[in-house]
Amino acid sequence: MKRTLAAAVLLAAAALLLLRLLPHRHGGARVAADADDEAPVAASSRVAMRDGVAVITLDAQTQAANGMRVASLAAAAAPPQAEAPAAVLDIAPLVTARAQIVAALATLAKAQAAVDVAQQEDQRLQHLYQRQQNASAKQVEAATAALHAGQADLGAAQQAISLEAAAVRAQWGDTIASWIEHGAPPLTDLLARRSLLVQVTLPAGEGAPPGGNPARVAIQTPAARVPATLVSAYPQADPRLQGLSLLYLAPARPGLATGLNLTAWLPQGPPARGVLIPDAAILWWQGAPWVYERTSPSTFVRRAVPADHPLPGGLFAASGFKRGEAVVIAGASALLAEELRAQIQTED
Encode pLDDT of 186-200 as tens digits: 999 999 999 999 999
Q: For residue 55, what are the contacts with CB-CB under 8 A and spacing of at least 6?
A: 47, 48, 49, 295, 299, 300, 301
Digit-coded pLDDT (tens) for 154-192: 788 888 888 888 888 888 899 999 998 888 999 999 999
277 vs 225, higher pLDDT? 277
Percent of residues in the chain assigned helix, strand, coil, to nearest 5? 45, 30, 30
Reported confidence tier of residue 266, pLDDT bands at 50, 70, 90? confident
The pLDDT of residue 84 is above 50 = yes
Q: What is the pLDDT of residue 80?
A: 76
From first CA to last CA, the distance across the chain in angstroms is 67
- Which long-range CB contacts under 8 A does 4-9 form with residues at least 24 apart? none
Q: What is the pLDDT of residue 71?
A: 95
Mean pLDDT of 123-144: 75
**φ, ψ of residue 2 in degrees (nearest 5):** -65, -40
Mean pLDDT of 317-344: 91
Neighbour-count burial of 73, counting CB atoms closer than 10 A to its CB (0-12 exposed, 13-18 middle, 19+ buried): buried
How far apart CA 281 and CA 68 sit, in angstroms, is 11
Q: What is the pLDDT of residue 55?
A: 93
The pLDDT of residue 77 is above 50 = yes
Mean pLDDT of 13-30: 41
Cβ atoms of 309 and 318 within 8 Å: the answer is yes
Q: What is the pLDDT of residue 120?
A: 82
The pLDDT of residue 257 is above 70 = yes
Going from the C-alpha of 319 to that of each of 75, 248, 266, 268, 291, the distances in angstroms are 11, 31, 20, 18, 14
How far apart CA 337 and CA 292 sit, in angstroms, is 12
pTM beyond 0.85, yes or no = no
How far apart CA 213 and CA 205 sit, in angstroms, is 15
Digit-coded pLDDT (tens) for 208-235: 565 678 888 888 877 677 889 999 998 8
Instruction: Write the DSSP symbol of residue 105.
Output: H
